[in-house]
Amino acid sequence: MSETRKRLKPTIVDVAKLAGTSIATVSRTLSGSSYPVSEATRLNVTKAAEQLGYTPNLIGKMLKTNQSQTIGVLIPSFQNAFYIQIIHGITKTATALGYTVLTFSSQRDVQQERTIINQMLQKQILGLMIASVDTSSSTISHYIENGGRACIFESNFKDSHRFILAKTDMVESGRLAMNYLIEMGHSNIAIITTPLSKQSRRNTIKGCRYAMVDHGLEFTDEDIIIAPFERELDDGLYEFEVGRDLVDLLINRVKKYTAILAVNDLIACGIIKGLKKYGLSVPQDISVMGMDDIPLSSMISPTLSTVHMPSYTLGQKACQLMVDAMKEKEKRYGVALSIRPELVERESVKKLSR
């Protein structure tokens, strides 16, 4: 009884012993190597492995090969359907390409974001797809310098050329939404937004401005109502509540608006709710327009007119790019992907007759 190995998980050594071959042969058979192995031994090994209930230990492999075929996805929140859609897209293509994806949420916490990225690096996850809340690119730079490839969906730091950029065109999105409202006869339009700390937000506003200017309409900072703070609620209602509560502010303005444009659907839904409190109904009394096109938007009443962000597609395409980048030895710089948003006309905007 001296030969009894620890009754723990069997390794290739055990398989080799049982099959009566070398561990190299076992490895070659079981790891899908292209190395030639005779049919006879292959069968033998497979059988032995099965008999022992052998499960390969990827850690061993990873340590040796220094690659994990894994992509880490880091988003600010699981509550936001926009990110969830991106993840969906990523996961689907990644899986198809033989990659595993790990999903993390930073809960909009910069410190946590940094920690997670560093942990990914430590775990040799050399592919990172991220919607960042950081204002500095140093963590990601560090990540890249250590051999990682990064794809950025959102960020607040100046875009460097060291990673893949995959964004929805927010300027276009703002312009699209605003144009639509204008074409529907609106000219007194309020914009409701969370703080402009994120570049994407600023871009959206920029797009709105362009549209107004294009139509020769007046548009001042007064017309932009900014939520006083940003945070992450555990129940995912934050933005909804922002919209709902900012209605109070809006309603007391001297200037009367015929339409409200929210920088995302969740806020827009909150606005509709808030307006109900005042007995105002959408779109009869006032029109509301969102941005993102999350599932919720077609569930509420009235259904929300919005701008569809092809986030699912974005996730897919970005992931493809990512995998390409991970496979290449050399880093490609300045790869960029921009997805054009589309207008979705539903019930929450009324056509004004002039």
Partner DNA sequence: ATGAAAGCGCTAACAC
Partner DNA sequence: GTGTTAGCGCTTTCAT
Binding-site partner at residue 43 among a second copy, DNA, none, CB < 5 to 8 Å by type:
none
Answer yes or no whether residue 351 interacts with a second copy by CB under 8 A.
no
Answer yes or no whether residue 122 interacts with a second copy by CB under 8 A.
yes
Q: Which of 16, 84, 152, 263 binds a second copy (CB under 8 A)?
A: 84
Q: Which of 40, 229, 279, 330 binds DNA (CB under 7 A)?
A: 40
CA–CA distance from 95 to each of 89, 117, 203, 233 (Å)?
10, 22, 33, 31
CA–CA distance from 121 to each of 128, 145, 161, 187, 329 (Å)?
9, 11, 20, 51, 18
Give the nearer residue to a second copy in terms of CB position, either 27 or 79. 79
4-33 residues in contact with DNA (CB under 7 A) are 8-9, 11-13, 20-25, 27-28, 30-31, 33
Q: How many residues bind a second copy (CB under 8 A)?
A: 53
Binding-site partner at residue 7 among DNA, a second copy, none, CB < 5 to 8 Å by type:
none
98-117 residues in contact with a second copy (CB under 8 A) are 100, 102-105, 112
Give the nearer residue to a second copy in terms of CB position, either 125 or 208. 125
User: SS3 sequence, the chain?
Assistant: CCCCCCCCCCCHHHHHHHHCCCHHHHHHHHCCCCCCCCHHHHHHHHHHHHHHCCCCCHHHHHHHHCCCCEEEEEECCCCCHHHHHHHHHHHHHHHHCCCEEEEEECCCCHHHHHHHHHHHHHCCCCEEEEECCCCCCHHHHHHHHCCCEEEEEECCCCCCCCCEEEEECHHHHHHHHHHHHHHCCCCCEEEEECCCCCHHHHHHHHHHHHHHHHCCCCCCHHHEEECCCCCCCCCCCHHHHHHHHHHHHHHCCCCCCCEEEECCHHHHHHHHHHHHHCCCCCCCCCEEECCECCHHHHCCCCCCEEEECCHHHHHHHHHHHHHHHHHCCCCCCCCEEEECCEEECCCCCCCCCC
Quote the CA–CA distance of 13 and 15 in Å, as a whole number: 5
Quote the CA–CA distance of 180 and 194 in Å, as a whole number: 22
Answer yes or no whether residue 233 interacts with DNA by CB under 7 A.
no
Stretch that binds a second copy, among 35-43, 184-192, 204-212, 232-240 (CB under 8 A): 232-240
Binding-site partner at residue 103 among a second copy, DNA, none, CB < 5 to 8 Å by type:
a second copy
Q: Which of 21, 27, 91, 139 binds a second copy (CB under 8 A)?
A: 91
Binding-site partner at residue 28 among DNA, a second copy, none, CB < 5 to 8 Å by type:
DNA
Answer yes or no whether residue 148 interacts with DNA by CB under 7 A.
no
Residue type, 273: K
Answer yes or no whether residue 299 interacts with a second copy by CB under 8 A.
yes
Stretch that binds a second copy, among 75-83, 151-159, 322-330, 332-340 (CB under 8 A): 75-83
Answer yes or no whether residue 56 interacts with DNA by CB under 7 A.
yes
Quote the CA–CA distance of 37 and 62 in Å, as a whole number: 23
Cβ 33 to DNA shortest distance, Å? 5
Give the nearer residue to DNA in terms of CB position, either 59 or 237. 59
Answer yes or no whether residue 121 interacts with a second copy by CB under 8 A.
yes
Answer yes or no whether residue 336 interacts with DNA by CB under 7 A.
no
Residues near DNA (CB under 7 A) are 8-9, 11-13, 20-25, 27-28, 30-31, 33, 35-38, 40-42, 56-57, 59-61, 63-66
Residues near a second copy (CB under 8 A) are 8-9, 53, 55-60, 62-63, 68, 78-79, 81, 84-85, 87-88, 91, 95, 100, 102-105, 112, 118-119, 121-124, 142, 145-147, 234-237, 240, 269-270, 273, 276, 295-296, 298-301, 312
